[in-house]
A and B are shown apart, each in its own frame.
Chain A
Amino acid sequence: MPAHNENFPWMSYYRNYNFFEQRMTEHSKVSSCQKLDAGLYSIELNTGKKLNVFICECYSFGTAEYVESCENYGALDAVIISSNWCGYSLELKRDCMADQVGIFDIGGFMAAINQREYWTYLTDYEKDKFKEYGWS
């Protein structure tokens, strides 16, 4: 049950991510934000590091969707689930962290890139859950 589009790349209704692009342009740790493909961005940080970032509105983003995204767009450094109505599985988040890949919502990504090991960033809710499941 996707928010809008059922298939990869799960584009938004207006087929753009203006909100995200604007947040990236304003972010103090971002030096450039370049759109490469539908939902695919290259985000360059002030440190010179370039991140391959995939953003989508998949209702429930899990392992299958992640694998499909990598098949289409190659290795990713981060995935962002854009819509407030959509989310990702914590199992995926945990598994990706081990591979130094971050899974976030927009707010999470904005906070995460303030730290060097951005893929390790967890929201308060996630911290609680990781502790509860004995994952951290």
Chain B
Amino acid sequence: MSITSKSIKILWSNAAGRCSFRGCTERLSVEEAEGVTPYTLGEMAHIKGNKLGSNRYDADQPALERDGYENLILLCPTHHTLIDKAENEAEYSVELLHEMKQEHEEFVSNRLQITELKSLEQLKDKIAPYMAENHQVWDQYGPMSENARKNPNSDQVYALWTSERLSTIVPNNREIKELLVEYRALFSRKEHRVVSKFIKHVESYEQWVEDKIPYNAVQRFPSDFEDLILGE
């Protein structure tokens, strides 16, 4: 058994590519995972140890669960080393690590839901920075970028694109979608079509995360949504 690309993508996107250790939130980068395939980014630590003798090992855990998303936590190299030191086994228990993981994922998924929004303008202001961030990543590492066109066979540059999709684009999309669903009524009837198109795009992105479709099959980002949010 090994960690599947689906588990990696879910773990990485739920943690927004950041260390889940309480108080850390260090942004992980591909360089930390040198020499591995583009998908195995960062440090995916096992909550219950993955082999006999490792910390928190549970002999009764089925192999499939051992490498599943539920039993993994994304950590920076420092904190991965810390929790796996033999003398720290009692301090970093299975329960505590699950708690940290949950806290971190909640923090990631609640970034945008702070105040009650009253107008369409407020909603657009809230969404715009996340769209801009996604756009920048796309420009820098996406299929149309100079990076992609000039280095079509570079695994390293491609790994950066994969990691940015998981740590920036997917978490941002989730937040934007949630806001859109909650505040849909603020849009005019005419605008609903564009909003729906964007939501479809986000949902098909999630299918890529779930390993149901290859990235090339993800529905394209509808540029009229950008006009809707950023335009006057």
List chain A positions with a Cβ less than 8 A from chain B. 1, 3-4, 12-14, 19, 57, 59-60, 82-90, 106, 125
Interface of A is mostly: loop
Contact A86–B149 (Cβ < 8 Å)? no
Contact A84–B149 (Cβ < 8 Å)? no
B152 partner, pick from A82, A89, A125, beta carbons under 8 A:
A82
Nearest residue (CB) in B for A58 is B216
Q: Is B129 an interface residue (CB 8 A)?
A: no
Contacts of A12 in B (CB 8 A): 149, 152
Interface residue range, chain B: 20 to 34
New A-B contacts (8) at CB < 8 Å, excluding given A59-B216, A82-B152, A83-B148: A13-B150, A13-B152, A83-B152, A84-B154, A84-B158, A85-B152, A86-B143, A86-B152
List chain B positions with a Cβ less than 8 A from chain A. 5, 38, 142-144, 148-150, 152-155, 157-158, 161, 214-217, 220
Among B153, B157, B217, B220, residue most surrounded by chain A Cβ atoms (within 10 Å): B153
Contacts of A82 in B (CB 8 A): 152-153
Query: How close is A119's CB to chain B, nearest CB, in angstroms?
Result: 20
B148 partner, pick from A60, A85, A88, A90, beta carbons under 8 A:
A85
Contact A3–B144 (Cβ < 8 Å)? yes
Contacts of B148 in A (CB 8 A): 3, 83-85
A83 partner, pick from B38, B142, B153, B215, beta carbons under 8 A:
B153
Contacts of B150 in A (CB 8 A): 13-14
Nearest residue (CB) in B for A3 is B143
Contact A84–B153 (Cβ < 8 Å)? yes
Contacts of A14 in B (CB 8 A): 150
Contacts of B216 in A (CB 8 A): 59-60, 86-89
Contacts of B214 in A (CB 8 A): 87, 90
Q: Which 5 A-B residue pairings sit nearest by Cβ, starting from the closest?
A: A83-B152, A84-B158, A87-B216, A13-B149, A85-B143
Known: A1-B143, A59-B143, A125-B5. A85 touches B220 (CB 8 A): no
